[in-house]
Structures are given as C-alpha cells and as structure tokens.
C-alpha cells in the first residue's frame, strides 16, 4: 500500500503578520465610468449578451419583488436587500407579487431558459428593471451573486456611498459545470469559532460555492459535542496546534452554522477522520486504545501516528454512536469518514475497519464520503472518493472508481489553499508545492487524471488545512485569490475559461475585497484594479 505521509514543514504558527485590507472606499463611482461589463463576472457565465447602450440605474425608491408563496425566494430577496441597503442607503422593501414586475428588481421562479437547471439563473437588465429568473431559490441566490458583481465595487462598502448604482444592460444565462463546488476548513489543527466560519461562508458564497466540508476531528482536536462520549469535546477539544485553548462547537452552534450555510444555499459536510488522525479521541477515552492507556493530548504537526483500535468491539460502538449523532444534526447527504494517512493501521486492519464502519453511515441515512484511500475498502452505494494526491493516476482512486465511486477533485498541488503561493509567503506549507494563482487556475478537473473518466467527476473542493493558520485574516489571505479561481473551475464551462481573461476579471474583484475588509494576497500575476482615489 502506498500512502504518502504529509511532510509538514511548519513555519512559525504564531509570528505571522499579514497586511490588513481594510481600505476605505471613499469615492463615488466616477460619473463617466462605464458600468461593469456582463462578461467580467467571476465565475465567468455560460453566456452573456450585452445590450449596447442600455443601462439600468437603481432608483432610491426601488423595491425587490419576489414570488408569492415561496418563502425561500423571499429570503433570497431579503438577503439581497441586506447586501444593498448599507452602501446605497435605500430602503429597498422586499415585497411579494404574483404578476410580472415592470420596475425595480424582480426575483422570479418562472420563465427562465430551461438550460438553467436546478442551480442556474437567467438575468435580464433593461433600462426599466432587473429580473433574475430561476427554477429554484438556489438559482435565484446564484443570480443575486452575479447581480451584486455587476454593481460598482463601492456597493460592498458598509457605509453609505454616493452612487449612481448602474448596471449594464443585457442578458446572462448561466448554470454550473459541476454539482459539487466545495471549500473545506480544518477547524481541528486550529479551532475557528462560529463567527469566523460564518464569515467564510459569506465569502465563499459570492463565488457560487455550494458545499463547506468541516474537518471536525484530528490528532490535535475534536471539535463537536457528542452526547454519548462527552470527553471528546471537553478533553479532546481542549487544545490545538501550538498548545492554545482550542474549542468545540456545541450542538446548538453546529445547528446554527448549518442553518446559516443553508440560507446561502451551502451544504455542510462534516468529517470525522478515521482510523488515523484520531489522537484527540484516543486521549479522551483510555478504552478506545488497544493498550487501555490514553495518550497525551497532541499539539504538534506530525501525521500518521494514531489509530483507533481495530480489534476492539468498543471501537465500533464508539464510531456508530458518533456517526449517528452527527447524522441527526446534519441535513446534507454526506458524512465524511476521512480514511487518509492511516500509517499506524495495517493494510488488513484498514480494510476491516472501513468495511465495518461504512454501513453505519448508510444506516444513519447518509452517503459515505472519504479521502481517496478508502478505495482500498469495499464500495458502498453512492460513495464519494475525494482525491488529494499530486499525481495524475492513483491506484486507490482507480480502485474506488472501478467499484462505482464518484470523485471530488482536490489535488493537493493545485487545490490545497494552505500551500504557500511562493517561497516568500509567510503562512502555509509547501509539501505539495508552491501554488500561485495561475497554477490553481490552469487545470481541468475532467482531464487531470489519466485513468478516471470525466463522467466520474462530481466536482471540485478547495481544502484549507490550518497547521499554520490561527485567525480569519490568515484564512482570507490563503483563500483569496485562489478560492475564486477554483470556484471558476467548478462552475464555468472549460471552453469559457482562459487565464489571460480570468486574471483581468480577477483583478477587478480586488476593490470588492478591499471594501469587504478581506485580507487578500496581491499576486503579481494579477493586474489588480485600484479603487477610485478619494477626492475625485
Ligand atoms: C490529506 O491531506 N491528508 C487529506
């Protein structure tokens, strides 16, 4: 068996300062500035047809109209109003209608081009009104993210800006390439509280990401309350890399995160990593260890040294109870059971363990997701293998696919947001390579792997491991601008993607991140737009 250990090269986990990005958007959009063009959206839309000479100007008395009888569509209207009110200073009441609006902003669940499917939308901008049409509230939400990017960057400010609030006329018809468009946050190596995760959900939802995978357990920390095994949180969650206080989510906090994500049409995928990466659990309960002795809590960054005790019956009681409680809290379809870097579990034990626990997921009403090494174990219906390798073929992944698994692509040398951009980057690791923006962008999820058919690819996920990341500004610096680049791989057709056009579109996002207070890496590969100077 060839499992590769991650060689963790830790730079200082604490002595890292990144430039804060809280610049003030102090100027009006210059009166002569052209509105944002329909083709400049990230991820690039499937089709955008400008209407020459047509502009819509949002009036102070505009309303946001949503369909009668769909509270979820009205909620998207309220989300849009909450975005636009602070910077415009307009009241923007959200109303319901069963007719066809003729002014303002309309979000409608009828009349979209059928190609938009379950997550896409059609956006029409005329001189009289802006209309987003979709078949679902999720489609409306994605259309609203596009509408937001078509307004001037100053719309992202949280204080009143002068306007005018103009949009270029035309039509966008847009829908995703892949149904799984993910980000992952490792809340185990360093714990991030509910407010940080909510902020990350806000940030990723702008780029039509629809899944957040939470890596809830590892050697350094267990981050979710399990009633049947309370010491997992109170002991296993009590520290983190570097020895800080750690933390954990109560069930109420986790449920709040799930709801906050759902309001942004994002599904939470919780991960309990097993049978390796389990020191926090082993330290919490002596009886989970083969020698009945709890090891100390661990605050370093090595991998591959821990294993649940495959030969003990209590191990299976433990796993079954943990997964059942997590399933009961999680409305999404997947439970991620890890399965990577089980370097302290024999090959035979690994298969025995995985084959025994996978049915617990199905019995709890969920579908198995795991790192691609779980291809060594038997298939279970609907199983997803998450590829994190750095090569273009892998025996475990091929085994998973040949047994029927679908694949989520997270190649570590392209999609890992914790890799350094360059060897000057103050945060992050480099065991999978350096990942500048162009490297993150320039690959095709359908063709990267030589022996996995395009039809097996379910989507793309951008993982963020947190050995070196301790705060929101660190997460933002590693995600921006690579997360939007990976979001475009997951959403936009391959034929519409092109680095030279992308880097200009990406550069135009910079003033939006500045206005939002996002701390981002000013990659020299990207021609960053500057916000208008104050006083003009
Ligand atoms: C991993 O990076 N060990 C999934």
- Domain ranges in the chain? 43-174, 180-491
Give me ligand 1 centre to Cα 340, in Å.
6
The crossing angle, in degrees rounded to 10, of helices 194-205 and 251-262 is 10
* Ligand 1, CB within 6 Å, residue ranges: 6, 340-341, 371, 388
**For residue 370, what pLDDT band results from cuts at 50, 70 and 90?**
very high
Q: Relative to the CA of 338, which ligand 1 atom is closest?
A: 4
pLDDT of 488 > 70? The answer is: yes
Distance CA 330, CA 328 (A): 6
Q: Which two tokens stand for residue 423?
A: 């060897």
pLDDT computed for residue 480 by the predictor: 98
- The per-residue pLDDT for 532 is 54
Please state at what angle helix 194-205 crosses helix 472-479, rounded to 10 degrees: 20
Ligand 1 mutation pick, 184, 371, 384, 428, max ligand atoms within 8 A of CB = 371
Report the C-alpha gap between 462 and 465 in whole angstroms.
10
DSSP result, 188-230: TTS---HHHHHHHHHHHHTTT--EEEEE-EETTEE-B--TTST
Which is the closest atom of ligand 1 to the Cα of 412?
Answer: 2
Question: Is pLDDT at 2 greater than 60 in this prediction?
Answer: no
Give distance in angstroms: CA of 413 to centre of ligand 1.
12
Q: Is 434 helix (H, G, I), strand (E, B) or coil?
A: coil
For residues 183 and 475, the answer to whether their CB atoms sit within 8 Å is: no
Q: What is the CA radius of gyration of the chain?
A: 24
Instruction: Specify the pLDDT at position 531.
Output: 65
pLDDT at 500 over 60: yes
CB half-sphere exposure, 533, CA atoms < 13 A: 2
CATH topology of domain 180-491: TIM Barrel (3.20.20)
Rounded mean pLDDT of 434-441?
98
The CATH H-level (homologous superfamily) assignment of domain 43-174 is Chitobiase/beta-hexosaminidase domain 2-like (3.30.379.10)
**Cβ atoms < 10 Å from Cβ of 285:** 16
Q: For 393-401, which contacts have Cβ atoms below 8 Å and span 24 or more sequence positions?
A: 393/449, 393/450, 393/451, 394/449, 395/2, 396/372, 397/372, 397/449, 397/452, 398/451, 398/452, 399/375, 400/372, 400/374, 400/375, 401/375, 401/452, 401/453, 401/456
Q: Which of 271, 341, 461, 488 is catalytic?
A: 341
What mean pLDDT do residues 196-221 have? 98
Give mean pLDDT, residues 361-369: 98
Distance in Å, CA 372 to ligand 1 centroid = 9
pLDDT of residue 34: 84
How far is it, in rounded angstroms, from Cα 450 to Cα 229?
Answer: 44
Tell me how far the alpha carbon of residue 412 lies from the centroid of ligand 1, in angstroms: 8
For residue 277, give the ligand 1 atom closest to its CA: 3
**Residue 341: active-site member:** yes
CA–CA separation, 157 vs 508, rounded Å?
A: 16
Q: pLDDT tens digit string along 100-123?
A: 999 999 999 999 999 999 999 999
| Alpha carbon distance 174, 48 (integer Å) | 8
Centre of ligand 1 from the C-alpha of residue 71, in Å? 40
pLDDT at 357: 98
Beta bridge partners of 172: 48, 123
pLDDT at 429: 98
CA 150 – ligand 1 centroid, Å: 37
The two tokens of residue 243 are: 């020895």
Is the per-residue pLDDT at 56 higher than 80?
yes
The pLDDT-based confidence of 344 (bands split at 50, 70, 90) is: very high
By most ligand atoms within 8 Å of CB, the mutation choice from 336, 337, 341 for ligand 1 is: 341
Does residue 26 register a pLDDT over 90?
no
Check residue 75 and give its pLDDT: 98
Mean pLDDT (the chain) is 94
Two tokens, residue 430: 């480099």
Angle at which helices 472-479 and 482-491 cross, to 10°: 50
Residue 160 has pLDDT above 90, yes or no: yes
C-alpha angle with apex 213: 231 to 40, nearest 5 degrees? 150
Average pLDDT over residues 70-75: 98
The whole-number pLDDT of residue 164 equals 96
| 4 pLDDT more than 50 | no
Looking at residue 73, what is its pLDDT? 98
- The torsion region of residue 155 among left (phi > 0), alpha (psi -120 to 50) and beta comes to alpha
Quote the ligand 1 centre to 388 CA distance (angstroms). Answer: 6
Residue 410 alpha carbon, nearest atom of ligand 1? 4
Closest residue to atom 2 of ligand 1, CA basis: 388
Which DSSP category does 36 fall into?
P
Average pLDDT of span 479-489: 98
| Structure token digits, residue 341 | 């870097």
CB crowding 479-517: b at 16 or more within 10 Å, else e: bbbbbbbbbbbbbbeeebbeeeebbebbbbbbbbbbbbb
Query: Residue 111 Cα, ligand 1 centroid: separation in angstroms?
Result: 44
Q: What is the pLDDT of residue 530?
A: 84
Cα 21 to Cα 418, 474, 519, distances in angstroms: 19, 12, 5
| CA distance to 1, 118, 165, 272, 306, per residue, from 278 (Å) | 20, 38, 52, 9, 6
C-alpha–C-alpha distance, residues 294 and 289, integer Å:
7
Q: How many angstroms separate the alpha carbon of residue 306 from the centre of ligand 1?
A: 15
How far is the centre of ligand 1, averaged over its atoms, from the C-alpha of 216 (Å)? 14
Instruction: Please give the share of the chain, as a percent, with pLDDT higher than 70.
Output: 93
Residue 341 CA: which ligand 1 atom is closest? 3
Across 206-232, average pLDDT: 99
The three-state secondary structure class of 186 is: strand
Largest alpha-carbon pair distance within the chain? 76
What's the full length of the chain, in residues? 536
Q: What is the pLDDT of residue 16?
A: 30
How far apart are the C-alpha atoms of 427 and 429, rounded to whole Å?
Answer: 7
Distance between first and last Cα of the chain: 64
CA distance 123 to 147: 8
The two beta strands, 104-108 and 64-67, are parallel
Q: Whose C-alpha lies nearest to ligand 1, atom 3?
A: 340
Mean pLDDT of 345-369: 98
170 Cβ neighbours under 8 A, 6+ residues apart: 38, 48, 49, 50, 51, 54, 124, 125
Top pLDDT among 5 and 181 is at 181
Q: How confident is the model at residue 127 (pLDDT cuts 50, 70, 90)?
A: very high
| pLDDT tens figures, 287-309 | 999 999 999 999 999 999 999 99
Whether the Cβ atoms of residue 300 and residue 189 lie closer than 8 Å to each other: no
- Find out whether 261 and 323 touch, Cβ atoms under 8 Å: no
Question: Do 404 and 372 meet the contact criterion of CB atoms below 8 Å apart?
Answer: no
């Amino acid at each position: 068996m060839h499992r590769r250990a991650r060689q963790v090269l830790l730079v200082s986990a604490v002595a890292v300062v990144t430039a804060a990005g809280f610049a003030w958007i102090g100027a009006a959009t210059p009166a002569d500035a052209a509105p944002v063009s329909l083709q400049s959206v990230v991820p690039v839309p499937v089709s955008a047809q400008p209407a020459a000479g047509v502009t819509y100007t949002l009036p102070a008395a505009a309303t946001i109209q949503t369909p009668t009888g769909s509270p979820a569509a009205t909620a998207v209207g309220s989300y849009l109003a909450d975005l636009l009110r602070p910077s415009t200073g307009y009241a923007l009441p959200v109303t319901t209608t069963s007719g066809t609006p003729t002014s303002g902003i309309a979000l409608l669940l009828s009349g979209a081009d059928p190609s938009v499917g379950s997550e896409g939308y059609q956006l029409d901008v005329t001189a009289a009104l802006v209309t987003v049409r979709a078949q679902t509230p999720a489609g409306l939400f994605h259309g609203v993210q596009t509408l937001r990017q078509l307004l001037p960057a100053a719309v992202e400010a949280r204080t009143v800006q002068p306007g005018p609030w103009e949009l270029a006329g035309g039509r966008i018809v847009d829908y995703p390439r892949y149904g799984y468009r993910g980000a992952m946050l490792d809340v185990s190596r360093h714990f991030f509280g509910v407010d940080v995760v909510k902020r990350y959900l806000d940030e990723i939802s702008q780029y039509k990401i629809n899944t957040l995978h939470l890596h809830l357990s590892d050697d350094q920390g267990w981050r979710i309350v399990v009633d049947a095994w309370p010491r997992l949180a109170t002991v296993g969650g009590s520290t983190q890399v570097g020895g800080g206080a750690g933390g954990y989510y109560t069930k109420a906090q986790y449920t709040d995160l799930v709801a906050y994500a759902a309001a942004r049409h994002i599904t939470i995928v919780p991960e309990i990593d097993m049978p390796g990466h389990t020191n926090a659990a082993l330290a919490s309960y002596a009886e989970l260890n083969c020698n009945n002795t709890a090891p100390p809590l661990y605050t370093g960054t090595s991998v591959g040294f821990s294993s649940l005790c495959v030969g003990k019956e209590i191990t299976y009681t433990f796993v079954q109870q943990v997964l059942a409680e997590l399933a009961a809290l999680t409305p999404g379809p997947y439970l991620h059971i890890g399965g990577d870097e089980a370097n302290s579990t024999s090959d035979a034990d690994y298969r025995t363990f995985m084959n025994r626990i996978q049915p617990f997921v199905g019995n709890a009403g969920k579908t198995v997701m795991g790192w691609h090494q779980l291809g060594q174990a038997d298939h279970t219906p609907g199983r997803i293998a998450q590829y994190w390798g750095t090569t273009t073929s892998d025996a475990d992944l091929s085994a998973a696919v040949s047994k029927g698994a679908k694949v989520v692509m997270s190649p570590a040398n392209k999609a890992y947001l914790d890799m350094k951009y360059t060897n000057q980057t103050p945060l992050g690791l480099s065991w999978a390579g350096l990942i500048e923006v162009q490297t993150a962008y320039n690959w095709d999820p359908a063709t990267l792997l030589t022996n996995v058919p395009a039809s097996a690819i379910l989507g793309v996920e951008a993982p963020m491991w947190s050995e070196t990341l301790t705060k929101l500004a660190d997460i933002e610096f590693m995600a921006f601008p690579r997360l939007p680049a990976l979001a475009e791989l997951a959403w936009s057709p391959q034929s519409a993607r092109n680095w030279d056009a992308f880097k200009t579109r990406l550069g135009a996002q910079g003033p939006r991140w500045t206005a939002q207070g996002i701390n981002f890496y000013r990659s020299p590969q990207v021609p960053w737009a500057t916000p208008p100077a104050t006083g003009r």
